[in-house]
Chain A
């Protein structure tokens, strides 16, 4: 029996975990900074080297990472409901493919960070419009059709990325690969993504119970009083924009959007009123922790965080699948 009380308790717990993950990210790295100094740097301390590292390097990166992780997990949770497919993730409908083509093209043309971000956001929007337009073409709008359209557009984008990679000069390949694997080292302005995360939650939460119904089937949802058509369009647009914002900031970081909603669902159930905010918090924390590992495991060299999330994600997912099928028997 879902209750508001239980939901709030779980969210409070996850908020604590989120703060803990950010604190960890501020303390750990190529130079270790004691927690006491971290607090000093955050609240008043000026001038010291460790203070600068915390305030100008680690904090923006941790917050941007948190926002991206939260957006990806949220978008994954929304798309799993929209497509009624537990295997859906934020990239399944080609958003990251479009963003990838834009970003790689920008890197090939030698544009700066702003240019790359702009191009990848434009690519993501273009993919979103194309998929939506094609899937919506004749007015009928089935999950299968949307899914197939998205998968095909993603495949097309993948081919274009491969084409650009194969003709790109060697010195640009490194940057391109890091972008494709997902990387937070360029993420220095967290305000925008944090704002998008808050806005997406704000827009999605009033519809959370209707999403519960949509997950049980569109006809069922409509019979129980949900305006299915507009809800689906809204979910598609919100989830796509969330993905586009995250991908623009951090490249295509894999597995957060697939794994986190699953983990949360297994832990707290499939009530979207709890699942959506819990996924956002858990996804944010997980990405912050993974990014901390990515920049400290073989410091001073940095790993792309997407590699780490995948390395953590694959075994966790396989474990969950195996456990799930055993429980069913």
Chain B
């Protein structure tokens, strides 16, 4: 029996914008059930790297493979059945209800003339309930707060039911309770449904708690990838953020204090 190809794989990936190199020769693979955190300074290229991984932007060199096939080979529709992407920012030009917005996530599962069925509605309602928005179905999205919109975007992503989640700052705008709830949700998807998760985070303690591996993006083209315990040390993080950090470990949790 051959092992299945990883959900996400990069080969000698180089990403740059203009003269700035964000990463070069990045070889990365993410299998079902694995969770990867991407950490780095502001402007280090984390979001750019993530959008390359999501197939929304072409890399300078190298290739990105989903289950062994490239994005052009798969086409946008098949890709959308495999990977889901949570954008960092969103603006809504038109009014729309919360339910309609989350239903958009079902698009790749419907054929060209198809309309959302009762089953799709059920999947979407479950997703809304999972992010604590069950009561908000008929609300106009333009009246939602930043945190509520973030949770709605997560619900839309859950409704898409991808196998690979690419999350750009999934806990942005969220209060502490919902930060933990949302990360538990994705950890659960990885544990129970065999999903793979890659997320850009700004809080090393959350990466420690919710991820197996960490990719440090230094912003000058250099990247380091390894298990959480090896990457999230005071030395490495001080270098990454260019600021002295103190790491405290207690009851299996990590606490990082800027000095």
Which residues of A come within 8 Å of B, CB atoms? 1-4, 84-86, 206, 209-210, 212-213, 215-217, 219-220, 222-227, 265, 269-271, 273, 328
Contacts and interface: CB of A to CB of B under 8 A. Distances in A.
Contacts of A273: 115
Nearest to A3: B115
B96 interface: yes
Interface string B63-88: 00000000000011111110111010
24 contacts: A1-B103, A1-B121, A2-B100, A2-B103, A84-B93, A206-B113, A212-B104, A213-B104, A217-B87, A219-B51, A219-B56, A220-B90, A222-B55, A223-B56, A223-B87, A224-B107, A224-B160, A225-B76, A225-B77, A225-B80, A226-B76, A227-B76, A269-B96, A271-B100
Given A215-B94, A328-B143, A222 B113 contact: no
Given A223-B54, A225-B77, A226-B76, A4 B115 contact: yes
B107 A223 contact: no
A84 B92 CA distance: 9
Interface residues of B, number: 41
A212 B156 CA distance: 14
Contacts of B110: 209
Nearest to A228: B76
Interface of B: 51, 54-56, 75-81, 83-85, 87, 90-96, 99-101, 103-105, 107-108, 110, 112-116, 121, 140, 142-143, 160
Given A1-B99, A2-B116, A328-B142, A224 B87 contact: no
B69 to A, nearest CB: 15
A84 B93 CA distance: 6
Given A1-B99, A225-B108, A265-B95, 16 more contacts: A1-B103, A2-B100, A2-B115, A3-B115, A84-B93, A206-B112, A213-B104, A213-B107, A216-B90, A217-B91, A219-B56, A222-B55, A223-B87, A225-B77, A226-B76, A328-B142
A223 B84 contact: yes
Nearest to A218: B56
A320 B16 CA distance: 46
Contacts of B115: 2-4, 273
B87 A270 contact: no
A183 B81 CA distance: 50
A234 to B, nearest CB: 14
B160 A215 contact: no
Contacts of A269: 96, 100
A261 to B, nearest CB: 10
Contacts of A2: 100, 103, 115-116
Contact of B87 (A84, A220, A227, A265): A220
Contacts of A3: 115
Nearest to B51: A219
Contacts of B112: 206, 209
B61 to A, nearest CB: 19
Contacts of A1: 99-100, 103, 116, 121
A225 B113 CA distance: 15
